[in-house]
Amino acid sequence: MESISAFFPAYNDAPSLPALIGKTFAVLRATGREFEVIVVNDGSHDNTGEVLLQLQRELGGQLRIVTHPQNRGYGGALRSGFAAATKELVFYTDGDGQYDVGELPKLLERMGDGVGLVNGYKLERNDPQHRIVIGSIYNTFARALFGIHLRDVDCDFRLVRRRLVEKIHLTSTSGTICVELVRKLELTGCGVVEVGVHHYARQHGKSQFFRLRSLATTFYQLLRLWIHVQFGYRSPI
């Protein structure tokens, strides 16, 4: 069986991390695969760092911590997570606990020969209504702009082959990285499979994506990425 790195970008997610990391270890141990778990602490100003150190003491070297002294944005956190991963497969989801890592085996089952990306899609989005509307608009806009075939671009529950991530060049620092990642993986010609997963209401903290500044940065980077792709510049691809 292929080995797997599971990583989680975390920003002020201290309350949700113990249960998330504990369940991740249980799920991965049950698969019988060689694994590692990585958390990218993206400049959190709560006690995320202390919580992670305590978890590392309890769980040992299979839990690795990557710390950004300053917040680098969601894209920066994902890029650090991919760079830190050492196993054949890489899985990631957010550190806020809105997805159930217990559904990871569903993705592993679909990672067959010729498949490079297994992408979750939300069976039902459990967020306030305004976030559902904004998310739907963003997803439709991004898919149409880039010609992406996946139905749910912003479902951050993904399993990918590490060798493919190493072949592409990710540049985004905001949530735009999800569009960039999916589009560039599709351009490699790898097989893509979609799996329905559950999405749960946030129990702790606030979403960083739906802040006005974050939305503005994301749409700006989305348009800039489209210009590069549309006019054939090589650097972002």
Task: Report the pLDDT value the prediction gives residue 232, as an integer from 0 to 100.
Answer: 53
pLDDT, average across residues 164-168: 94
Concatenated DSSP letters for 132-179?
Answer: HHHHHHHHHHHHHHHT---S-TT--EEEEEHHHHTTS-----STTHHH
- Across the range 194-204, mean pLDDT stands at 87
Give residue 201's identity as a one-letter amino acid code: A
**pLDDT at 174 > cutoff 90:** no
What does the pLDDT read at residue 124?
87
Q: Does domain 4-230 have CATH number 3.90.550.10?
A: yes
Kindly state the average pLDDT of the residues 30-44. 97
Could you tell me which of 26, 8, 161 has the C-alpha nearest to residue 78?
8
Phi, psi dihedrals of residue 28, rounded to the nearest 5°: -70, -40
Residue % of the chain over a pLDDT of 90: 67
- What percent of the chain lies above the pLDDT cut of 70? 90
Which two structure tokens, joined as six digits, stand for 54?
A: 């305590």
User: Which pLDDT does position 203 carry in this prediction?
Assistant: 67
The pLDDT of 10-16, averaged and rounded, is: 95
Whether the per-residue pLDDT at 107 is higher than 90: the answer is yes
Give the span between the Cα atoms of 162 and 3, in whole angstroms.
10
Do residues 124 and 201 touch, judged by C-beta distance below 8 A?
Answer: no
pTM equals 0.89
> What is d(CA 52, CA 4) in angstroms, rounded to the nearest whole number?
20
pLDDT at 212 over 70: no
- Each domain of the chain, given as residue ranges in start order, spans 4-230
**Sheet of 35-42, strands arranged across:** 63-68, 35-42, 4-10, 89-93, 157-161, 115-122, 191-197
Q: How confident is the model at residue 208 (pLDDT cuts 50, 70, 90)?
A: low
DSSP 15-72: TTHHHHHHHHHHHHHHHT--EEEEEEEES-SSSHHHHHHHHHHHH-TTEEEEEESS--
237 vs 84, residue with greater confidence: 84
Whole-number pLDDT of residue 229: 66
Residue 20 pLDDT > 70: yes
**Pair of tokens at residue 155:** 């479902």
3-state SS, residue 122: strand
Provide the token pair at 234: 């090589």
Q: Which two tokens stand for residue 60?
A: 């040992």
pLDDT at 225: 80
